[in-house]
Amino acid sequence: MMGGDYAPLEAVKGIRLHLEQKEKPAHLVLIGDEAQLKPLLEEQQINSDTYTIVHASQVIDMHEHPTKALKEKQQSSIAIGFHLLASGKVDAFISAGNTGAMMVGSLCTIKAIEGVQRPTIGAYLPRENGKMGWLVDVGINADCKPENLLQFGILGSLFVKYVWNVDSPRVALLNIGEEEGKGNLLVQAAYPLLKENDKIEFVGNVEGRDVFLDKADVIVCEGFTGNVILKLAESIYDIAKRRNIKDEYFDKFHFEQYGGVPVLGVSKPVIIGHGISEGPAFNNMILMAEKMIESDLMEKIKASFAAS
Amino acid sequence: MMGGDYAPLEAVKGIRLHLEQKEKPAHLVLIGDEAQLKPLLEEQQINSDTYTIVHASQVIDMHEHPTKALKEKQQSSIAIGFHLLASGKVDAFISAGNTGAMMVGSLCTIKAIEGVQRPTIGAYLPRENGKMGWLVDVGINADCKPENLLQFGILGSLFVKYVWNVDSPRVALLNIGEEEGKGNLLVQAAYPLLKENDKIEFVGNVEGRDVFLDKADVIVCEGFTGNVILKLAESIYDIAKRRNIKDEYFDKFHFEQYGGVPVLGVSKPVIIGHGISEGPAFNNMILMAEKMIESDLMEKIKASFAAS
């Protein structure tokens, strides 16, 4: 509840939106400063049967060093969240707080699923036809081996399949040419791995010009290029807004609205939100967590990697 | 004269534009099929004192294999152009033809300036304030060493200084975070090289969101990410056009209009144009070639690399 620039009010608003919308919502465990949370929950008229507050006396600030802060602030909402998740007291953990601390907690407290070399986070790729694509990795793994790209493809494919209900998601490799054999050494080596793997529906290379076209459901790249694309796309929204361009497609480049992204490849559902998340974003994150649990995504990933 | 989708007519139109505009234009050596060129030049009323035709009986098609075509078609306009350039009979060579053949010709016939490890091509980065930035490399060098990135910075800086008349061009490193130490292994190693080099004005890291902001005159990256950015930016123009968005800034993402880009780091001026170049693009390429010659850019680059 304490994560993000507008915490805890926007998180509370997100809960209200969620409860209004869902007939049988999940029971919410709200981690944060009880003295701050209680009046806000009452003010927003949220039925106290729907949640349990777990008091956290500390907060990890957005600019604190992730590893250090997580180690030293054991009573922070993020540290407590990971503790509850690891011990099975909650089924998913959502936060719009310090992204680095969320990643460190995911990797060190929750840990990778056996067989997953590098857990990863992705980004939404809005398309003009209303569909959504998934770009993975977007910055956690700046240096990758070919096998990592293959695994990003498998993880992205399972996520899109079970959380977005896309049958046989198309997986593409981001490259600088269409033909096999193009690109740098990394993608040249990754191409045959993707092509030969029977867990994914590989559709070949896509280029920069294809990123926003509906050519693939999952686009795989190392985290350096992915991060540059994500931030460049966000800047297109800023430019359009600054220039007073009103267009519903460019509005979709406002990535905060989508809520958050899962850390794929760790053994429990963790969702990281943007620092400037508002009510609807928190609602979307809760919906995503529910979907990840209901679809048993973690077990699907475990089964997929156990078989390899 | 035979390069590009609208050859040779648009090249001829470009020459007419150029002659109308320049009081003392360079003498133009027009390489191509004389039988096709002559009537077009007459039709466009171009004074025959301003040019010399060098007949070329062959053309390298846009889809031919660069190395093979250049070797086998010695009478093609591209092969003849490089021959004239190498032997000093022309001072600069411009073509909107087969990009691969232009690169192979540049590297094998003209060769790199001593000390330049990897010649490179860049791309225009239009800014909202009307200024222009330079992104380098954009695809020729998909795998780079840290020293290559430093050299791209030096080459880009000299180009922007002497051809665009920008005093002390600001050089930035494309990265996924602002602070020194961020990024993948390549940029982590390149950062101190750029920082400590006294030939450039290094302003630190920029991120994907800064690419279209006026934070640097030259942005350095390996050719994989640069190529993805260039093609993604071009696709933004296509999207805006498709969605009927009329905006003078997004119009600037129509990169063909700028003309062409120089191959930086080879010993003579070579300019490669987009296949769909029209008259104004050809005019811009001639202007750029003149500027590269007048400013003695090649000698400035040679001096800079000789001193290192």
Please answer whether residues B224 and B132 qualify as being in contact, where contact means their C-beta atoms are separated by less than 8 angstroms: no
d(CA B125, CA B249): 11
Which residues lie across from B32 on neighbouring strands?
B55
CA distance A100 to chain B (A): 13
Percentage of chain A exceeding pLDDT 70 = 100
> Is there a single domain that holds both residue A124 and residue A4?
no
d(CA A300, CA A303): 5
Give the Cα-Cα-Cα angle A254, A258, A259 (nearest 5 degrees). 120
B247 touches chain A (CB under 8 A): yes
> Is there a single domain that holds both residue B109 and residue B127?
no
* Sequential pLDDT tens for chain B (308 residues): 999 899 999 999 999 999 999 988 899 999 999 999 999 999 999 999 999 999 999 999 988 999 999 999 999 999 999 999 999 999 999 999 999 999 999 999 999 999 999 999 999 999 999 999 999 999 999 999 999 999 999 999 999 999 999 999 999 999 999 999 999 999 999 999 999 999 999 999 999 999 999 999 999 999 999 999 999 999 999 999 999 999 999 999 998 888 899 999 999 999 999 988 999 999 999 999 999 999 999 999 999 999 75
- Name the closest residue on chain A to residue B234, using Cα atoms: A209
> Is there a single domain that holds both residue B203 and residue B105?
no
Does residue A228 fall inside a structural domain?
Answer: yes
> Is there a single domain that holds both residue B174 and residue B77?
no
Segments forming the whole domain that contains residue A47: 1-116+265-295
> Is there a single domain that holds both residue B128 and residue B237?
yes
A211 touches chain B (CB under 8 A): yes
Q: Is A23 exposed, middle or buried (0-12, 13-18, 19+ CB in 10 A)?
A: exposed
d(CA B10, CA B192): 46
Q: A225 and B228 in contact by Cβ < 8 A?
A: yes
pTM (two decimals): 0.95
For residue A255, pLDDT over 90 is answered with: no
> Is there a single domain that holds both residue A211 and residue A233?
yes
Structure tokens at A257: 């609205």
At A68, which CATH number?
3.40.718.10
User: What is the per-residue pLDDT for A247?
Assistant: 94
For residue A276, pLDDT over 90 is answered with: no
Judge if ipTM > 0.90: yes
CA distance A225 to chain B (A): 5
Does residue B258 fall inside a structural domain?
Answer: no
- CB-closest option in A207, A227, A242 to B208: A227
Structure tokens at A282: 């928190």
Please answer whether residues B73 and B227 qualify as being in contact, where contact means their C-beta atoms are separated by less than 8 angstroms: no
d(CA B33, CA B56): 5
Count the domains in chain B. 2
Does residue B189 fall inside a structural domain?
Answer: yes
Looking at B230, B253, B276, the residue that finishes a domain is: B253
d(CA B107, CA B98): 14
Please answer whether residues A126 and A252 qualify as being in contact, where contact means their C-beta atoms are separated by less than 8 angstroms: yes
Q: Is A257 exposed, middle or buried (0-12, 13-18, 19+ CB in 10 A)?
A: middle
Which residues lie across from A202 on neighbouring strands?
A171
d(CA B267, CA B114): 9
Does residue A10 fall inside a structural domain?
Answer: yes
Mutate to test the interface with B, among A228, A256, A276 (most CBs of B within 10 A): A228
Q: Which residues of B touch A243 (CB under 8 A)?
A: 128, 247, 249
Which residues lie across from B27 on neighbouring strands?
none
Distance of alpha carbon B163 from its chain centroid, rounded? Answer: 12
For residue A308, pLDDT over 70 is answered with: no
What are the DSSP calls for A82-94, one per residue? Answer: HHHHHTTSSS-EE
> Is there a single domain that holds both residue A157 and residue A218?
yes
- Name the closest residue on chain A to residue B227, using Cα atoms: A176
> Is there a single domain that holds both residue A196 and residue A234?
yes
Q: Which residues of A touch B229 (CB under 8 A)?
A: 208, 228-229, 232
Does residue A282 fall inside a structural domain?
Answer: yes
Q: Using DSSP, state whether A259 is helix, strand or coil.
A: coil
> Is there a single domain that holds both residue A77 and residue A162?
no
User: Could you tell me whether strands B201-206 and B170-174 are parallel, antiparallel, or unpaired per DSSP bridges?
Assistant: parallel
